[in-house]
Amino acid sequence: MKLNPVPAALFVRNRARLASMMSPGTVALIRSGKRKQRSGDQFYPFRQNSDFYYLTGINLEECVFVFSPAHPDPDLREILFIKKPTLKSELWTGQTTGPEEAQTLSGIGQVRWLEEQDSYLQLLIPEATMIYTDHDTGVIPYQHKTSLAPLLQSLRTIKQAEEIEEIKRAIAITRSAFLRALQRVEPGMYEYQVEAEIIGEFIWKGAEGHAFEPIMACGKNALVLHYVENNCLCREGELLLMDFGAEANHYAADCSRTIPVSGRFSRRQRLLYDAALRVLLKARELMVPGAVMNDFHQAVGEFWEEEHIGLGLYSLKDAKAHSGSEPLWKKYFMHGTSHSMGLDVHDPFDRLKPFEAGMVLTCEPAIYIPAEKLGIRLENDILITERGALDLMEDIPIEADEIEELMNRTS
């Protein structure tokens, strides 16, 4: 990791919260991620399993964490098993996190070598014990097994103070990358060159990299919702839709901005852009405790219907007479307005669960017009508080005038 580690207090608290949800006498077992082979003797960069990281703060592969919070022996309530290094592994990949450092990072008192796990597990998990896990339990003589995922999904939905700070850190890096891109974008660049400016800033600022595969979609490419080829020319007069975010200490930012390649919006582009921004600002006000995702999305759709009519895409009469299975506004705004985010850019979330303080959700209204060969998406990350929505991206430029001013500022 390039940045200062997340305080171990977060992971200690996460485990305590999990313990309060587990049935008495049960055991949770979770395995870390494993490096995936790319081709031949090459592997993809390792990225830790988010649930494992949430409970341990450990970024090692091939680890096992066993959690038995009600065990009578306090030394056996939390055990982290890590892979023992060899002379060969240290020669090729260097020293890795050892037991003492793992204890410091995780707050777990017992850290053992992976080779010891079978003997410990047979003692810790009697035959009748129920195990919370989503993994192969190997040699454990269990009778009952249930999924750990629902418990962790419930916990991860509400962000702790340390998590919010990490998301803010990822957002700050994302802001810096956007400002850099605004200074560099011009007609004749390729989409991948814009992406290069962004990843360069991410790495320069100490992020792990992209939190997700970035979208740099110019002109009609923005009509493809998950366009990731990023290989086309950015032409004079077109709009560039950018959907990107840094990952810092495993936590994601998720930002969308749409900018004019030439540095100035045309009159029509400005009308469409301002409509999208108005919808975002109105939608943001609805992100309060007690709101439900589906109702929220429907309300945003109704905002869009009013804007669509004002933009001349259809009339009020057309909207009322429409007999399709979906409302007419979905022709121009066909995806959701929001999703949960945190350790994953799409964090687990129950869409029927009312919004609560501590949730971090995106707000991403958009408009896609095939006849005009453009799409505009604006997206900010929102923290739900008891007092309403706190926009964590409020200092990332979004007003059309500010974007134009920054794009045309002399260095």
Per-residue pLDDT of the chain in tens (411 residues, 90 and over written 9): 678 999 999 999 999 999 999 998 899 999 998 889 999 989 899 999 999 999 999 999 999 999 999 988 898 999 999 999 888 877 787 788 899 999 999 999 999 999 999 888 888 887 667 899 988 766 565 568 899 999 999 999 999 999 999 999 999 999 999 999 999 999 999 999 999 999 999 999 999 999 999 999 999 999 999 999 999 999 999 999 999 999 999 999 999 999 999 999 999 999 999 999 999 999 999 999 999 999 999 999 999 999 999 999 999 999 999 988 899 999 999 999 999 999 999 999 999 999 999 999 999 999 999 999 999 999 999 999 999 999 999 999 999 999 999 999 875
Which tokens sit at 236? Answer: 């004079």
Instruction: Give catalytic status of residue 195 as yes or no.
Output: no
Catalytic residue among 243, 247, 347, 404: 243
Catalytic residue among 186, 335, 372, 391: 335
Question: Domains of the chain, with CATH numbers?
Answer: 8-156 (3.40.350.10), 161-407 (3.90.230.10)
Catalytic residue among 41, 100, 136, 386: 41
At which residue do the structure tokens 């949430």 appear? 54
pLDDT of 1 reads 64
pLDDT of 25 reads 86
Q: Are 219 and 373 in contact (CB under 8 A)?
A: yes
Instruction: Mention every residue, 6+ apart, whose C-beta is less than 8 A from residue 337.
Output: 283, 296, 297, 300, 363, 364, 365
Residue 180, judged by CB atoms within 10 A of its CB (0-12, 13-18, 19+), counts as middle
| DSSP state at residue 7 | P
Report which residue type is found at 45. Answer: P
Instruction: Give catalytic status of residue 51 as yes or no.
Output: no
Catalytic residue among 31, 195, 377, 381: 377
DSSP letters for 283-332: HHHT--TT--HHHHHHHHHHHHHHHHHHTTSS-HHHHHH--SSS-GGGGT
Instruction: Give catalytic status of residue 41 as yes or no.
Output: yes
Instruction: Give catalytic status of residue 335 as yes or no.
Output: yes
Instruction: Give catalytic status of residue 192 as yes or no.
Output: no
Instruction: Give catalytic status of residue 379 as yes or no.
Output: yes
Instruction: Give catalytic status of residue 165 as yes or no.
Output: no
How far apart CA 350 and CA 382 sit, in angstroms, is: 17
Q: What is the pTM of this model?
A: 0.95
Catalytic residue among 339, 344, 381, 404: 339
User: Bridge partners of 251?
Assistant: 248
pLDDT of 121 reads 85
Catalytic residue among 35, 38, 226, 409: 226
How far apart CA 245 and CA 255 sit, in angstroms, is: 6
Instruction: Give catalytic status of residue 322 as yes or no.
Output: no
Q: Vertex 80, ends 76 and 85: CA angle to 5°?
A: 135
Beta carbons within 10 angstroms of residue 158's beta carbon: 15
Closest CA to 374 of 275, 245, 302, 301: 275
Q: Going by DSSP bridges, is the β-strand pair 78-82/64-67 parallel, antiparallel, or unpaired? A: antiparallel
pLDDT of 128 reads 62
Catalytic residue among 197, 364, 381, 404: 364
Catalytic residue among 197, 201, 208, 379: 379
Catalytic residue among 268, 322, 346, 409: 346
Instruction: Give catalytic status of residue 226 as yes or no.
Output: yes
Catalytic residue among 254, 305, 347, 404: 254
Catalytic residue among 247, 368, 381, 404: 368
